[in-house]
Chain A
Amino acid sequence: MGHTPAELLAVMAARQLKDCTAVFAGVGVPLLAAVLAQKTRAPRLTIVIEGGIIGMEVEPGRLPISTNEMRGARRALMLPSITDTFLLAQRGFFDYGFLGGAQIDRYGNLNTTAIGGSYDRPKVRLPGSGGAADIIALCREIIVVTFHERRRFVERVDFVTSPANLEGNGSRRKAGLLFGKVTRVVTNLGILGFDEGTGAMRLEALHPGVSLDDVVRQTGFDLILPPRLDTTDPPTDEELNILRSVDPERRFLG
């Protein structure tokens, strides 16, 4: 079965989640990935959304558009205040955080604030952090889910909205970020991780039909290459069918 890049992203991100865990996810592809995981390998996955939802279950065709609208609350277990939802992350209850960004750099830092110019007079103003800076600071394992494009994968982000490994070599820890760790970058080309010592991004696996050259061409900095590259299993019909039933209007599936 053919698939769009967004479908591939959702499938590959879903496979990162283990059962009986809690994931802090944003709306869009990250939420689709979490829902797919819940409907396949992780039926006891608790989905948490920053608008104040714990234990979300999405019914087909009722995918929420924002983090705090009625579709998201349907069949939830709890609707805490927004601040109390984030405080659960700060206390250490959330195993995973799912994030995206307009720019990501060699050390995994994400920018959703502004591109070019200065903060006060940016060339392109982006919507802002929302809960991204919180999720990257407070969840245990953070997984970035993003399209792999050269304009996104830059040497250094213009603005560090959400800090991953900062300048590498332990600078995340030195800034006071004691607990969380960005473990994976899931893209439509492959799966990436980070070198333990330097904190720089490393390619780990390619999706079927993707060459190393494709990845290098779409990355604006030198990636660490492992001695041997894995290839991921292609999306199954079951995975794609579930995704399509959850987002029949294809609002986020492309």
Chain B
Amino acid sequence: MELTDFREARRRIEAKQRHGGDKLTSVEEAARLVKDGDTLAVGGCLFTRTPMALVREVLRQRRQGLTLARNLTCTEGEFLLVAGAAQKIVTSWMSIGLPWGISKILREYAEQGRARFEEWSHMAIGLRFRAGAMGVPFLPTLTMLGSDLMGVTGAKTMACPYTGETLCLVPALFPDVALLHVHRADRLGNCQIDGYPHMDSDIAKAATTVLVTAEEIIPEDETRRRPDRTIIPGFLVDAVAEVPFGSYPHECYGLYEADFQHFGDYAAGIDARGSAAVKDYLDRYVYGPKGYADYLDLFGMETLMRQRRFARELTA
């Protein structure tokens, strides 16, 4: 069960040793901070800035009983389900994207009752992380009222104490662990993101433990030269690892485009063979390669450089 009690969430933060020390480690060591049964909040959105290296490592370490919480869920959700690592997903939407149709993995697991999908509206997911980031038990909102989503989630209504109008209340979501991928971080964990901020800043503040991969580890002095770009202060962060192409085959703004051809091949495999295709994919892309460099070798340098060129063109 996801933590929603703001008192316990506060106790967990106070019980932690918060220090300004060195957080730099490997992605393998960072992922060891994930425990069986944890609720993982995954940063980015859909196929953008997904912390793929961290998700991949959580799978390699064979964690069990996880809950995934994400605004829009993409291939990483399918991996966690088929690997047997997660049986519950808290989200607002799940598919790779419109051109690839409805996720057949979502259908298989939902229709056979093999996993629970707790569906909130996109904004409600965001407000749950925002409430967590604020350290308050819930936030009032005007969305989701009248929707059947009210009955399948933990949302409640109340009469506004000032106007009497009906409000929707969404409970804070305090993830056990946040998995984030950013453009730059220093050894102290100060993180900078280019392009879309998504919900990463709120997720980092709401979570008990924050794991970050960065495309580049920069000196502290460089962070200090551009403090306006820092969106997560280092004292929130528990571990940071340098992983270039750490979202691949998902995109990282300005650095590489999502590999749509790879998505197409992956989706075609699922169309033909359902979750058995994802099992094979996991063997080839997750469990097989030893390190992340071996994983990237499966895509090939030529492809990675092509995707980098596309990204540069799109953000030039």
- Tell whether A pairs with B: yes
Interface residues of A (CB under 8 A from B): 27-28, 50-52, 62, 65-71, 73-74, 79-83, 86-87, 89-90, 113-114, 117, 119-134, 137-138, 159-163, 166, 171-172, 175-179, 251-252
Q: Which 8 A-B pairs have the closest CB atoms?
A: A176-B166, A83-B126, A175-B146, A163-B146, A86-B123, A125-B110, A130-B93, A133-B121
Total contacts A-B at CB 8 Å: 194
- Find out whether the CB atom of A128 lies under 8 angstroms from the CB atom of B94: yes
A52: chain B residues at CB < 8 Å are 45, 196-198
Contact of B314 among A62, A90, A126 (CB under 8 A): A62
Cβ contact within 8 Å between A86 and B152: no
> Bound state CA distance, A34 and B230, in angstroms?
34
B284 to chain A, nearest CB (A): 25
Interface of B is mostly: mixed
Q: Chain B nearest CB: distance from A47 CB in Å?
A: 16
Interfacial residues of chain B within 157-206, with CB under 8 A of chain A in the complex: 157, 165-168, 195-199, 201-202
- Nearest CB of chain B from residue A159's CB, rounded to whole Å: 5
CB-CB under 8 A from B257, the residues of chain A are: 69-70
A127 to chain B, nearest CB (A): 5
Contacts of A51 in B (CB 8 A): 45-46, 48, 196, 198
The secondary structure that dominates the A interface is loop
Contact B141 A83 (CB under 8 A): no
Are A163 and B253 in contact (CB-based, < 8 A)? Answer: no
Q: Are B47 and A66 in contact (CB under 8 A)?
A: yes
Q: Most A CB atoms within 10 A — which of B148, B157, B195?
A: B148
Q: Which residues of A contact B129 (CB under 8 A)?
A: 83
- Contact assessment for B251 and A69 in the assembled complex, using a CB-CB cutoff below 8 Å: yes
Interface presence of B113 (CB below 8 A): yes
Q: Which residues of A contact B201 (CB under 8 A)?
A: 81
Contacts of B253 in A (CB 8 A): 70, 73
